[in-house]
Amino acid sequence: MQAVPSRISLEGIVKTFGGFRANDDVSIHVAEGSIHAILGENGAGKSTLMNIIYGLYQPDAGRILSRGREVKISNPRQAMALGIGMVHQHFKQVDTMTVTENVVLGLPGRPVLNLAQDRKRIIDLAQELGFDIDPDQPMWSLPIGMQQRVEILKLLYRQADLLILDEPTSVLTPSEIKPFFNLLSRLRSSGRTIVLITHKLDEVMEMADRVTVMRLGRVVANIEASETNSRELARLMVGRDVIFDVTRTPPRIGSPVLEVADLVATDERGLSALNGLSLTVKAGEIVGIAGVDGNGQRELAETIAGLRKASAGTVKICGQVADRLNPAERKRRLRMGFVPEDRQKVGLDLDSDIAFNMVLRSFRLPPFSRHGWVDFAKIKTHAKQLAERYDVRMRGVGQRARDLSGGNQQKIILAREMEDEPELLIVSQPTKGLDVGAIDFVQRTLLAQRDRGTGILYISTELEELLMVADRLAVIFNGRIVGELPVSEATPERLGLLMTGKAA
């Protein structure tokens, strides 16, 4: 049937985790020199499938063919030998090492290093790809988009011609996405094959040649991108029609629940991140913080939540000065929920089970414990209820949080922070890595909270999302709010000027 030869083919792949079928009879053919998108709900089994191709997991059944030849891939090294490389959903690098060192790290068959030579070859390769990277910079000093480019560089340096990219755009800011797509196009024209996992349907429509849709571990569709549209893809993914616009009532605004005045704070490196920021959120409204990533969003959220000390200024929550309270006290006494941006590093204890993570911030309080004595039965029932209400796809609440799919990890945090009806809710990039159905669900839930009277500070780099849920937008630039406007008056042009500091 296929005119173009297949670069990699999967036939009847099955993968179970202790009785649970993460991949169930999956067959996919990826054509040589194409961009092949894999779509699917959170927990559909996309990452599992990719890990199988990359040799991290062994399938229970099924065959893998690389260029028509059946292969057994027992580890990433063998995958590399077949020209297969992967950038993970949550990739890891050695922060203290330089770009060159990270690229060279783990190269097989190299008992003696010649870093000077590698460095030169890396510069050449980077130039060829149009990357503006200093090979001597330490990894930690690079923005995440750059770090991702280093990951791709690493694969190409190992001569990979099949690149598996697991949700690469979820770590990128909107302004980084365009150049990233240009890069993918260039890689495709140079004959490389790309398997792209994403939750963003318009990205699929823009970039992909062919699309595979997965659901509940199975393939439900294999389609040419030119023969479909976003709406159909969404329906295939979720199994029902997804309505993209949320209906909303006018806000019923109450008294202030968050008053931030002249806040000053620094980031990890001691550089100033907030420069006298002032902001108010009232009960019953959603205030969106718009801005280019890295303008103080993270520090703002953390300072309000009590994770970061302000060097000047005050934070008042529900009329009370919160400066001396720790994060748990702010949650409990001032009724503030906080969804942090980095779910794996801050939001979860990945080595504990789902049940514990559901009470991570409240296990020391009744009813989950009394006089220092933990009531695990209560914790478990509580977790079961929440998991059901927030549709967490899992094997059971005793499962380790680490083994959950990325989107389901995010749902645990959302469930935990929203369930006890907070007065104030700070959410940072809450839809990162969520599928369309889940995004829809999160936005509805947030709107329901607002209608109940919660004041919500919604921080996101996705303008579209902000325009959809927020009542009022505040634009952050260089650690300060440079403009506030109701959503009805917000146009992309006007926001663009504010976000780049070109208008007051």
Partner 1 sequence: MSVVGQPSVKAQTPSGAEPRAGRVAQSLIKFAFMLKTVWAVLAALILGAFLVQLAGGRPVAAYSALFEGAFADYYGISSTLVRMSPLLLASLAVIIPLRAGLFNIGAEGQIYIGALLSTLVALYLPEVLPSWIHVIACIGAGALGGALWGLIPAALKAYRGTNEIITSLLLSYVAVYTVGAVLHAWLMEPGAPYPYSREIPDALVLPTFLSETEAHIGVLIAVAAALVIAVIFRQTTLGLSIQTVGHNPHAAVYAGLDVKRLTLSSFALGGAMAGLAGAFEVLGLKYRLFDHFSPGYGMQGIIVAFLAALSPLGSIVAAFFLAGLQVGAGAMQRTTGIDTTMVEALQGMIVLFVAIGLAFRYHPERWSRRVAAWQKPTQGE
Ligand X SMILES: Nc1ncnc2c1ncn2[C@@H]1O[C@H](COP(=O)(O)OP(=O)(O)OP(=O)(O)O)[C@@H](O)[C@H]1O
User: Toward partner 1, which CB reaches closer, 126 or 305?
Assistant: 305
- Residue 356 binds which entry of Mg ion, ligand X, partner 1, none, with Cβ cut-offs from 5 to 8 Å by kind? partner 1
As measured in angstroms, the least distance from the Cβ of 61 to ligand X is: 16
Stretch 42-101 residues interacting with ligand X (CB under 6 A): 42-48, 89
The answer to whether 121 contacts partner 1 (rule: CB under 8 A) is no
Tell me 114's DSSP state.
-
Number of residues that bind partner 1 (CB under 8 A): 49
> Is residue 404 close enough to count as binding ligand X by CB under 6 A?
yes
Site residues (CB under 5 A) for Mg ion, limited to 45-84: 47
For Mg ion, the closer of residues 43 and 483 by Cβ is 43
CB 249 within 8 A of CB 451: yes
Residue with tokens 């057994």: 72
Interface with ligand X includes 407 (CB under 6 A)? yes
How many residues in the chain?
Answer: 504
113 phi and psi angles, rounded to 5 deg? -90, 145
Instruction: Name the minimum Å distance from CB 409 to ligand X.
Output: 8
Distance, in Å, from the CA atom of 233 to the CA atom of 242, rounded to the nearest integer, reads 10
Span from 274-282, 356-364, 461-469, 482-490 in contact with partner 1 (CB under 8 A): 356-364
Instruction: Please give the Cα distance from 254 to 268 (Å, whole number).
Output: 36
Restricted to residues 406-425, the positions that interact with Mg ion (CB under 5 A) are 406
Per partner kind, with CB cut-offs from 5 to 8 A, the member of Mg ion, ligand X, partner 1, none near residue 326 is: partner 1
Question: Which region, judged by CB under 6 A, interacts with ligand X, from 187-195, 252-260, 312-320, 405-413?
Answer: 405-413
CA 143 – CA 321 distance, rounded (Å):
34
Decide: helix, strand or coil at residue 272: strand
The answer to whether 429 contacts ligand X (rule: CB under 6 A) is: no
212 binds ligand X (CB under 6 A): no
Contacted entry of partner 1, Mg ion, ligand X, none for residue 331, CB cut-off 5 to 8 Å set by kind? partner 1
- Interaction residues for partner 1, span 266-325 (CB under 8 A): 305, 307
- Applying the rule CB under 6 A, the residues between 152 and 211 that interact with ligand X are none
Query: How many residues bind to ligand X according to rule CB under 6 A?
Result: 19
- For residue 142, the 8-state DSSP code is S
316 or 393: CB nearest ligand X:
393
**Nearest-approach distance from CB 250 to partner 1, in angstroms:** 34
Nearest Cα to 387, choosing from 365, 356, 355?
355
By rule CB under 5 A, what string of x and - marks binding of each residue 370-409 to Mg ion?
-----------------------------------xx---
CB-nearer residue toward Mg ion: 45 or 288: 45
If the CB atoms of residues 337 and 455 are measured against partner 1, the closer one turns out to be: 337
With CB under 5 A as the rule, give the number of residues binding Mg ion.
4
Of residues 288, 279, 261, the one with CA closest to residue 468: 288
How far the first Cα of the chain sits from its last, in Å, is: 59
Q: Which listed option, Mg ion, ligand X, partner 1, none, makes contact with residue 42 (CB within 5 to 8 Å by class)? A: ligand X
Q: Contact between 352 and partner 1 (CB under 8 A)? A: yes
Find where tokens 């969520």 sit. 434
- Token code pair at residue 472: 């009022």
Helices (H), 239-285: none
Q: Of 47 and 431, which CB lies nearer to ligand X in the complex structure?
A: 47
Taking the least distance from each CB to partner 1, the nearer of 117 and 326 is 326
Q: Out of 97, 177, 253, 363, which residue is the one contacting partner 1 (CB under 8 A)? A: 363
Please, which contacts does 174-183 make with residues 24 or more away whose CB atoms are closer than 8 Å? 174/461, 174/462, 174/463, 175/292, 176/145, 177/203, 180/145, 180/148, 181/206, 181/207, 183/129, 183/130, 183/149, 183/152
Q: Closest by alpha carbon to 32, among 170, 174, 206, 195?
A: 195
Contact 472, 288 (CB under 8 A): yes
160 touches, from ligand X, Mg ion, partner 1, none (C-beta below 5 to 8 Å by class) = none
Q: Residue 140 interacts with partner 1 (CB under 8 A)?
A: no
Side-chain-side CA neighbours of 278 within 13 Å: the count stands at 2
Residues 358-373 as b or e (16 or more Cβ within 10 Å = b) = bbbbbbeeeebbeeee
Query: For residues 331-350, which are near partner 1 according to CB under 8 A?
Result: 331, 338, 340, 345-350
Q: How far is CA 482 from the centre of its chain?
A: 27
Q: What is the DSSP string of 405-464?
A: -HHHHHHHHHHHHHTT--SEEEEESTTTT--HHHHHHHHHHHHHHHHHT-EEEEE-S-HH
**Closer to Mg ion at the Cβ: 400 or 494?**
400
- For position 235 contacting partner 1 by CB under 8 A, the verdict is no
Using CB under 8 A, list all residues that contact partner 1: 15-19, 21, 24, 58, 60, 215-224, 227-228, 236, 239, 305, 307, 326-329, 331, 338, 340, 345-352, 356, 360-361, 363-364, 369, 372-374
Residues that bind Mg ion (CB under 5 A): 47, 89, 405-406
**Contact footprint for ligand X (CB under 6 A):** 17, 22, 40, 42-48, 89, 393-394, 403-408
